Amino acid sequence: MGAIQAIRGTRDILPEEVGYWQQIETVARQILQKAVYQEIRTPIFEQTDLFERGIGEATDVVGKEMYTFLDRGERSLTLRPEGTAGVVRSYIEQSLYAQGGVQRLWYTGPMFRYERPQAGRQRQFHQLGVEVLGARDPRADVEVINLATNILQALGLKNLELSLNSVGDSEDRENYKQALVDYLTPYQAELDPDSQERLNRNPMRILDSKDKRTQEITADAPRILDYLGTDSQRHFELVQQLLTDLDITYQINPRLVRGLDYYTHTAFEIQSQDLGAQTAVCGGGRYDKLVSELGGPDTPAVGWAIGMERLILLLQQMQAAPNPAIDFYLVSRGEKAEPQALILAEKMRSAGFTVDLDLSGSGFAKQFKRADKSGSVACLVLGDAEAENQTVKLKWMASKEQLAIAQSELLNSTDKLRQQIDALVKI
């Protein structure tokens, strides 16, 4: 029998890559904490109904991409395809609105969509997202956009573009959809098969088609921005003004329609030209009706999610994965030395050092080779002679300088050692 393989569209995140994940989470956590966003963790599976009602049955995500199954009690459950619906379900169920004011939340975790896998598109992927619930003010839209750009910039990303649109309120959208259908109907036979099917179900998604002829046809289609009512227009203008005030550059893209049905007013994406086909690294927008549609009180909201795998593809183009520095590599050989090395490693770790204890039991030469490869700043060497008189050899890897030192003295001079190591790591 062949070895079992990971499921198509899923990936193992191996230790050599995990530094990127930690780097993103650390940077995001710092930036989000400064703006007083609190982390929330919701379940990975929910009732299927939540996504059908929340994301919309006419969307590709609900119609074609969900991992839905019956559990042993015959309940229909779905692996979450995105994070917003679960956060809103929790907000309502846990009465987070009862605390009053604005809830600022963030989350990270795996999401599942049955899509055709390719670079930057997987069936299990990860998002880092924020949701602000309870604020209608356009400053909330701009605060969340600002946080996304800050996180991406702090990670050193360049060549990013912010695309902005307004999809108005439900009345604006109904008027617009009608105008779009009226415009497209005479061309129906010329549209690609997906778009023909969308004409009645979800006409705005036709603007997203990758088909050349469909794109030619939609080039002259009516624009949503011409169908915004006064309030929607005012909101959109304020968002733009505030972005300009914050020196955040953006491009208005009236064809930007997001793949989830809950959006109202602001919709945006941050794209990178360095990503190949899957250009969106972050997507989000306002969703003022979702909380009430899912049975909660009327609560305006706005948020976004960053695709972690896509962000990591960009980081990989720029830098090697950050790896935590190892202070000491501990080499030992001999009946007395080996147990003593375990104890010394424990004491040095308690004193705050990172210590890689060689557990191989192989000869000194092999252990030294591994010490060289480990990238550690220094090596500690314990043979039976050292174990006998409670000393240890300390060898600085860069200079090859070596000295014998009593183990007690080593443990008494931890502050000095820390300074020496930090100075070497900086170089």
Rounded to the nearest 5°, which phi and psi values hold at 299?
-140, 110
- C-beta closer to ligand HAM: residue 287 or 328: 287
Range in contact with ligand HAM (rule: CB under 6 A) among 179-187, 281-289, 369-377, 412-420: 281-289
DSSP SS3 for 38: strand
Give residue 187's identity as a one-letter amino acid code: Y
- C-beta closer to ligand HAM: residue 102 or 394: 102
**296 makes contact with ligand HAM (CB under 6 A):** no
Applying the rule CB under 6 A, the residues between 65 and 84 that interact with ligand HAM are 82-84
Altogether, the residues listed in the chain come to a count of 427
Binding mask 309-338 for ligand HAM (x = CB under 6 A): xx----------------------------
- Paired with 357 in beta bridges are 330
Counting residues that bind ligand HAM (by CB under 6 A) gives 27
CB 192 within 8 A of CB 132: no
- C-beta closer to ligand HAM: residue 260 or 371: 260
The residue from 281, 313, 379, 421 that contacts ligand HAM (CB under 6 A) is 281
H or E element: which one contains 396?
Answer: strand 391-396
The residue from 140, 305, 417, 421 that contacts ligand HAM (CB under 6 A) is 305
DSSP SS3 for 2: coil
The residue from 56, 296, 300, 303 that contacts ligand HAM (CB under 6 A) is 303
Instruction: Supply the Cα-derived Rg of the chain in whole angstroms.
Output: 28
Kindly state the smallest distance separating residue 46's Cβ from ligand HAM, in Å: 13
Kindly state the smallest distance separating residue 67's Cβ from ligand HAM, in Å: 12
Nearest one of 364, 398, 366 to 381, comparing CA atoms: 364
- Look at the alpha carbons of 84, 85, 86, 88 in this order and tell me if their dihedral is positive or negative: positive
Burial 122-134 (b: 16+ CB within 10 A, else e): bbbbbbbbbbbbb
Which residues touch 123 (CB under 8 Å, ≥6 apart)?
7, 8, 9, 10, 67, 112, 113, 114, 115, 117
Kindly state the smallest distance separating residue 182's Cβ from ligand HAM, in Å: 28
Distance separating alpha carbons of residues 249 and 158, to the nearest angstrom: 13
Kindly state the smallest distance separating residue 62's Cβ from ligand HAM, in Å: 12
Residue nearest to ligand HAM (CB): 307
The residue from 280, 344, 357, 377 that contacts ligand HAM (CB under 6 A) is 280
- C-beta closer to ligand HAM: residue 281 or 382: 281
**11 makes contact with ligand HAM (CB under 6 A):** no
Residue that the structure tokens 């929790």 belong to: 90
Applying the rule CB under 6 A, the residues between 120 and 149 that interact with ligand HAM are 120-122, 125, 127, 129, 131
Binding-site ranges for ligand HAM (CB under 6 A): 82-84, 113, 115, 120-122, 125, 127, 129, 131, 259-260, 280-285, 287, 303-305, 307, 309-310
